[in-house]
Structure 1
Amino acid sequence: MLALASAASLMVALDTLVVSTALSTIRVELNASLAALEWTVNAYNLSFAVLLMTGAALGDRFGRRRGFTVGLAIFVAGSAACALAPSVDALIAARAVQGAGAALVMPLGMALVSSAFAPDKRGQALGVYFGVTGLAVASGPVVGGAITEGLAWEWIFWLNVPLGLALLALIPRRMQESHGPDGALDLVGLGLVGVAAFGVVWGLVRGNLAGWGSAEVVFAFAAGVACLALFIAWERRVADPMLPLRFFRSRAFAAGNAAVFFAVASLFGAVFFLAQFLQTGLGYGPLDAGLRLLPWTLTLFFVAPLAGALVDRHGERPFMVAGLALQGTGMGWIALIAEPGIAYASMIAPLIIAGCGVSMTFPAGQNSVVGAVPPEAVGKAAGTNSTLRELGGVFGIALLVAVFAGAGGYGSPAQFVDGFAPALGVTAGLSFAGALVGLALPKHQLRPRDVVPGVELEADPPVGPDGLEAQRAV
C-alpha cells in the first residue's frame, strides 16, 4: 500500500518538477513566451486544483483504490500526449489532462496511506510518503536536465508511461480498497467548489497577461468568490456535505492548511525561477542546472522521513514554524546575493538551509490536517489540503511572474537577475508568512491515546464523527 501510493506520488511530483530545467529549452524550441511558460506549469496545477476535492469525494463514494487507478490511467495518457505535442498550445492542453489524473492520484493515495496506519504511526508513514515525493523533487530537475540535454525535452514525459503501466498492473493485487463515509454524493457541492476553484485559479493565471484590473480577471475572481460563498452556504445545510465545515473549528486543521498554502506558494515559485536563473542568469546547461539544485532538493528525501517520525513525538507546531522560517531564510539569502556571474559555491549553504526547512514543513502540515479529523473523513481532509496546496502553487508562480515581469526580463543575464532577485525576495516573504500562521497550531493534537483522566491537555481536540469537537479531558 505505502510503496504503491508513494511510487505514484513520486511520478506525479516528478512531472511537476521535471519540466523546471526544460523551461528554457521549451521557450527556445517552441518559441514560447513567459506567459506560455507559466501556462506550461500552471495548466497542470489548474486542473489539479479544480478537480482535487471532486477526486477525493468520488474516491470516498465509489472506492479510493478504484479512483486512484482511474486517475493513474488518465495521468499516463496525458503524459503520452505531452510527449507527442507538436506546439506549445498542445503541450499546455496535455498538461491539463495530466493534472486531471493527478487530482485523483494524489489525494486518494494520501487517504489510502492515512487510513492504513494507526494514528501513532501515521506521521512516520506520511514522512516516508513525502520522503519518496522528495526523491522526485530531488531527481526531477536533474532527470529533466539530463534528458533535455542528452535526448530531447519530450522524453521527460515518456518516463511516466512504463512506470505508470507497471503500477496499474500491481494495484489490483497489492492495494486494498477503502471507502469514506457511506453517504450520497454531493453533486451540488462538487459543482460549486469546482467553479469556485476554477474562477480563482483562472484569475491568478491570467492576471499578468490580461491585466489585474481587466474585466476578464475581475469577473473570474468575482465568480470564484461568489461560488465559494454559495458552496459554504450549501455545505452548512446539506445532510451529507463533501467538506464538513466543522473541521475548521480545529486550529490544527485550519492553521495546518493555511501554513501549507504559503509553503507551497513559496516552493513552487522558487522552483520555477531558480532553474531558469542557473541557465539564463549564470549560463549553465539544463543538466548542470539540475545538478546544482541538488543541495536544495536532495534534503527532502533525507529530512522528511525523520521529521515525520519526530512530529509524532513532539507535535507539529515546532516543525512547521522552524521549517518555514528556514525556507524563508535560505531564499532571502539567495535574493540578497544574486547577481550575474555569482559563484555557485556561495549558493550552496542557503540552498541546504531552505531544503531542510521545507522538508520539515510538509510532514508536519499533513499530519496536522489528517490527525484533526476522524479516520473515515481522511479522504475529505486530504482533498481539502491538496486543493489548497495546488492553489498555493498557482498563487506563488503567478505572484512571482508578476514581480519578475515588472522588474526584469530575458534580454540579458543582468536583466534576468533584475527580476529574479525581487521575485525570490517575495518567495522568502511567503515562507515567513506561513511560519507566522504555523504559530496558531496547537502544541500537540489531542488524540484518543493522549486522554488521561484528571489531566487537561493543552491541545486542540480532534473533530468527532458526530460533528462536535471532542471535549478536553478534565
Structure 2
Amino acid sequence: MTTIDRAPTGAGELTARRKQLSLLILCGAVFLDALDISLLGVSLPSIKTGLGLSDGSLQWLVSGYTVGYGGFLLLGGRVADVWGRRRTFIAATVLFIAASLLGGVLTDGGLLVATRVLKGIAAGFTAPAAMSLITTTFREGAERNRALGVFAMTGAGGYSFGLVLSGVLTEIDWRLVFFAPGVIAIAVLAASPLIKADAPRVAGPRQSFDFAGALTVTLGVMALVYGLVQGPAWGWGSPGTIAVLAGAVVLLAAFVAVESRHRSPLVPLSIFHSRSLSSANLISVVWAGSTIGWQFVATLYLQEALHWGALKTAFAFLPLGVVIVAVAKFAAGPLVGRWGVRAVVTVGMLIQAVGVLLYLGVGANSSYAAVMLPGIILHGIGNGLVYPTVNIAGVSGVADERQGVAAGLITASYQVGAGVGVAVLAAVLTATGGSGEGVSGYRWAFLVAGLMSLTGLLIGFQGLRQPKGAAAASPAAPAVPAADPVAARQ
C-alpha cells in the first residue's frame, strides 16, 4: 500500500471525551445527508397532488439533490482542506438549514426543486468536511477504523430511518419532510463549536486556488450525473443524452489536463499512486451501483408487481438498515483490524452478491419472509462490511492536508455509482419487459446488480493486495499506543 505524503495527525491533543463528542456531531451531518436522500420517497405522490407538479418536476425533487451533491463533492473536499474543515462544515450546515426551511413553505415547483439543489450542494461540502474531520481527529489504525465504522453506520441508519419517517410524516403533512431535516440540522449547528478546531495554518507562501480545476470537475461531474439521471427519460441514444455525456467526458478530460499542470491542484493526481485509494474508489462505484440500483428495482417490484403500499414497502426495507448498522458498528472495524481491508471487502462483496442474486427467485406472489427477507439480511451484512471498510481504504495513508480531497473522492464515487446503477438497471428493466405485473424484467435487473457486486469483489481482491513486506506497516492494523484512553480499550 502506498503512503501518500504521510503527516502527523496531532489527534493525541484531544481528550477521548472530546473526540467522541466530535464524532457524535459529525455523524449527525452524515445522518442528515442520508436521511434527505430517502425522506422524499413515500411523500412524492402527496407532493405531486398538493402542488400540481408534473412527473418531470417530481423526479427533479430527488435528482436535483443528487446532481448538487455529486457535483460539488470534490470542490467541497478541497475547500475544506484550504479554508478550514470546521469552518466549511458550519457554513454548509447554515445553507442546508436555510434551504430546508425555505422548501417547507414554497408552493412553486421550480423554486422547490432549486432548494433541493441547494441542499445537495450544501451536502457536497458537509460530507467531505465531516469525514476529513473524523480522519484527522482519530489516529490512523484501529481507532480511526472504529470511528469510520460508526460514521458509516450512521449513514445507513439515516437512509433506512428516512424511508420509514417519510411515511409517518406524510400521514400528518407532506411539508414536514422538508422541515424535519432543517430542525435536526439546527441542533447539529448549535453543537458544532464542540468539534475539533482546525489546525493552525503552516507558515509559508499562500497557495493559489485552482479555479480552472474546480470549474471543470464540478461541471463535469454534474453533467455526468445529470446525463445518467436523464438518460432513461430521454433515451440513451438521443442527441440530448449523447451531448450531455460527451460534454461530461470533455470537461473531465480538461480537468485532468489542468491538474497535471497546476502548482496547487484541486485534486493532486499523485494521490492516485496509491493502489488502495484508487481501488477503493472503483469499488465504491460498483458497490453503490449494485446496492442503490437493487433497492430501486426492489421497490418497483414490491409496489408494482406485488401491489404493496408505500409505507408497507418502507417497512420491508427496515431490516436492511438494522443489519447494516449492527454489522458496521460491531463487526467491520474489528474484522479489518484482524484480517485487513482486502479480506473484509472481498467477503462483504460476496455476501452482498449472494443476497442480490437470491432475488432471481422472485415471482408474482413471492413470500416476503421466505424469499425476500433472506436476501435483504445478506445484503445488509455485505453493506455493513463493505461501506466502512472502503472508507478506511480510501483515506488510509493520506496526509492530513489532503484528507478533504480523499473524502470528497470516495463520496463522489458513491454518488456516481448510485447514478450509474439506477440508470443501468432502469434501462435493463425497460429492455427486458419493463416493470408491472410480469417479473422477467425484474429478474434480469437483479442479475445485473449481482454481477456488479461480483465485479467489486474482483477489484477488491486484486487492487487491495498489500505489497510483500508491507503487512507490518498496514494502516488497517497498526500498533496502537496504550497511552491513548480510547485505544487502550481496544
Q: Per the shorter chain, which TM-score range?
A: 0.7 to 0.9
Q: Which runs of 5+ in 1 are unaligned?
A: 447-454, 463-474
* Amino acid paired to 1:53: L
* Amino acid paired to 1:351: I
**How far has the Cα of 1:314 moved from its partner?**
2.0
Q: How does 1:55-454 map to 2 (within 5 A)?
A: 55-86=76-107, 89-120=110-141, 121-148=143-170, 150-178=171-199, 183-305=207-329, 306-334=331-359, 336-346=360-370, 347-408=372-433, 413-415=436-438, 417-444=439-466
* Amino acid paired to 1:54: L
Give the distance between the partners of 2:473 and 2:98, measured in 1 at CA: 43
Q: Percent identity?
A: 29
Are the structure 2 counterparts of residues 26 and 93 from structure 1 closer, same or farther at C-alpha, using a change threshold of 3 Å?
A: same
The residue aligned with 2:14 is none
Give the distance between the partners of 1:82 and 1:420, measured in 2 at CA: 35
* Amino acid paired to 1:151: I
Are the structure 2 counterparts of residues 31 and 357 from structure 1 closer, same or farther at C-alpha, using a change threshold of 3 Å?
A: farther
Is the contact between residue 142 and residue 289 of structure 1 (CA under 8 Å) also seen in structure 2? no
User: 1:212-244: CA deviations, max 9, x gaps?
Assistant: 222222222222112212211221121111211
Are the structure 2 counterparts of residues 153 and 177 from structure 1 closer, same or farther at C-alpha, using a change threshold of 3 Å?
A: same
Is the contact between residue 146 and residue 286 of structure 1 (CA under 8 Å) also seen in structure 2? no
Give the distance between the partners of 1:65 and 1:246, measured in 2 at CA: 26
**How far has the Cα of 1:437 moved from its partner?**
1.2
Give the distance between the partners of 2:444 and 2:102, measured in 1 at CA: 36
* Amino acid paired to 1:327: Q
User: 1:163-189: CA deviations, max 9, x gaps?
Assistant: 111111111244423488863221111
**How far has the Cα of 1:37 moved from its partner?**
5.4
Give the distance between the partners of 2:440 and 2:131, measured in 1 at CA: 40
Is the contact between residue 70 and residue 415 of structure 2 (CA under 8 Å) also seen in structure 1? yes
Give the distance between the partners of 1:438 and 1:318, measured in 2 at CA: 8
Are the structure 2 counterparts of residues 405 and 87 from structure 1 closer, same or farther at C-alpha, using a change threshold of 3 Å?
A: farther
Is the contact between residue 62 and residue 179 of structure 1 (CA under 8 Å) also seen in structure 2? no
* Amino acid paired to 2:427: A
* Amino acid paired to 1:414: E
Aligned residues: 448
**How far has the Cα of 1:296 moved from its partner?**
1.6
User: 1:284-343: CA deviations, max 9, x gaps?
Assistant: 333222221122221111111220232133211111122122222212211x12233322
Give the distance between the partners of 2:415 and 2:231, measured in 1 at CA: 17
Give the distance between the partners of 1:46 and 1:377, measured in 2 at CA: 24
Is the contact between residue 89 and residue 125 of structure 2 (CA under 8 Å) also seen in structure 1? yes
The residue aligned with 1:450 is none
**How far has the Cα of 1:130 moved from its partner?**
0.9
**How far has the Cα of 1:354 moved from its partner?**
0.5
Give the distance between the partners of 1:244 and 1:373, measured in 2 at CA: 12
Is the contact between residue 96 and residue 118 of structure 2 (CA under 8 Å) also seen in structure 1? yes
Cα RMSD for the two superposed structures: 2.5
Give the distance between the partners of 2:214 and 2:362, measured in 1 at CA: 45
User: 1:123-161: CA deviations, max 9, x gaps?
Assistant: 11100111111221332211112222x223332222112
Are the structure 2 counterparts of residues 179 and 52 from structure 1 closer, same or farther at C-alpha, using a change threshold of 3 Å?
A: farther
**How far has the Cα of 1:45 moved from its partner?**
1.2
**How far has the Cα of 1:66 moved from its partner?**
1.0
1:456 aligned to 2:479? Answer: no
Are the structure 2 counterparts of residues 318 and 21 from structure 1 closer, same or farther at C-alpha, using a change threshold of 3 Å?
A: farther
User: 1:90-125: CA deviations, max 9, x gaps?
Assistant: 443322111011001111100000000111211111
Are the structure 2 counterparts of residues 372 and 74 from structure 1 closer, same or farther at C-alpha, using a change threshold of 3 Å?
A: same
Range with greater deviation from structure 2 (56-65 or 106-115): 56-65
Range with greater deviation from structure 2 (260-269 or 27-36): 27-36
User: 1:41-89: CA deviations, max 9, x gaps?
Assistant: 3221111111111111111111111111111122222223443353654
Residue aligned with 1:342, SS: coil
Residue aligned with 2:126, SS: helix
Is the contact between residue 38 and residue 160 of structure 2 (CA under 8 Å) also seen in structure 1? no
